[in-house]
């Protein structure tokens, strides 16, 4: 792992069928009209600075919440999208010390890429102007642990929970078979989901190849509150 900073993964990805349920609801000119005007590098720097404030306890947001809420009533232009876990201890708006309207958030146990979330991410990029996608895992993730234990024991997870093993399992199998740690499995899952996002979506793949979108993976430390790129 390295200190939280700017890192851009490789842009060579395969295109796949993309979900357009949300995208189709907005006009083709929406992205130009709603673009945040914040580059992916600046967006990541803002998240970095906000997380530093969160770690130190020097939070600045939300300030002027009533004015901000009223100003955004007619539309939104978040500068970053975060796909993260549903864990109640992990709230992106807080841990990045953001204001309302700054971060487009998708939460799902195990922070894995699936069709509904992918359509939401595409919508954030194409129609809201979010030029940065972060996939954020965390230590002691219950979803990753359940999948890890299932692979290790050879015991399938119960119905519905088995979606976790199908989505997370392939990315962490090598860690399990090598008796790696849960933290290593969490990081491996993040890496796998970063790749999956662009392999499953031609919209995101084209965004990366055209340098309009950047995708990063990171983990959150529950005790310290620190976010670290992986």
* Nearest Cα to Cα of residue 90 among 77, 103, 79, 101: 103
Question: Which residues, listed in sequence order, are joined to residue 84 by a DSSP beta bridge?
Answer: 107, 136
* Helices assigned H by DSSP within the chain: 30-34, 40-56, 65-71, 92-95, 115-128, 142-153, 162-177, 182-200, 202-209
How many residues would you count in the chain?
230
Token reading at 160? 């519905």
DSSP state of 171: H
Number of domains in the chain: 1
In a domain, 143, yes or no: yes
Q: What is the CATH number of the domain that holds 174?
A: 3.40.1050.10
Helix, strand, or coil (residue 213): coil
In a domain, 5, yes or no: no
* Cα 112 to Cα 84: distance, rounded to the nearest angstrom: 8
In a domain, 91, yes or no: yes
In a domain, 10, yes or no: no
In a domain, 151, yes or no: yes
Supply the range of the domain harboring residue 110: 23-229
In a domain, 13, yes or no: no
In a domain, 102, yes or no: yes
User: Tens-of-pLDDT digits for all 230 residues of the chain?
Assistant: 444 433 333 333 333 333 333 333 333 334 443 467 899 999 999 999 999 999 999 999 888 889 888 988 999 999 999 999 999 999 999 999 999 999 999 999 999 999 999 999 999 999 999 999 999 999 999 999 999 999 999 999 999 999 999 999 999 999 999 999 999 999 999 999 999 999 999 999 999 999 999 999 999 999 999 999 99
């Amino acid at each position: 792992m390295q200190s939280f900073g700017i890192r851009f993964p490789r842009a060579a990805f395969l295109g796949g069928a993309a979900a357009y349920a949300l995208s189709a609801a907005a006009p083709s000119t929406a992205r130009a009209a709603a673009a945040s005007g914040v580059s992916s590098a600046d967006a990541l720097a803002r998240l970095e600075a906000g997380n530093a404030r969160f770690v130190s306890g020097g939070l600045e947001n939300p300030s002027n919440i009533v004015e901000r809420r009223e100003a955004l009533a007619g539309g939104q232009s978040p500068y970053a999208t975060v796909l993260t876990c549903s864990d109640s201890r992990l709230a992106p708006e807080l841990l990045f010390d953001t204001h309302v309207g700054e971060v487009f958030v998708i939460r799902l146990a195990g922070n894995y890429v699936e069709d509904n979330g992918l359509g939401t991410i595409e919508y954030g990029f194409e129609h809201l102007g979010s030029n940065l996608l972060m996939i954020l895992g965390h230590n002691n993730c219950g979803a990753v642990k359940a999948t890890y234990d299932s692979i290790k024991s050879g015991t399938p997870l119960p119905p519905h929970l088995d979606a976790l093993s199908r989505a997370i399992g392939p990315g962490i199998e090598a860690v399990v078979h090598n008796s790696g740690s849960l933290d290593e499995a969490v990081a491996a899952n993040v890496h796998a989901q970063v790749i999956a996002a662009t392999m499953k979506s031609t919209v995101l793949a084209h965004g990366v190849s055209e340098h309009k979108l950047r995708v990063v993976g990171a983990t959150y430390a529950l005790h310290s509150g620190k976010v670290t790129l992986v």
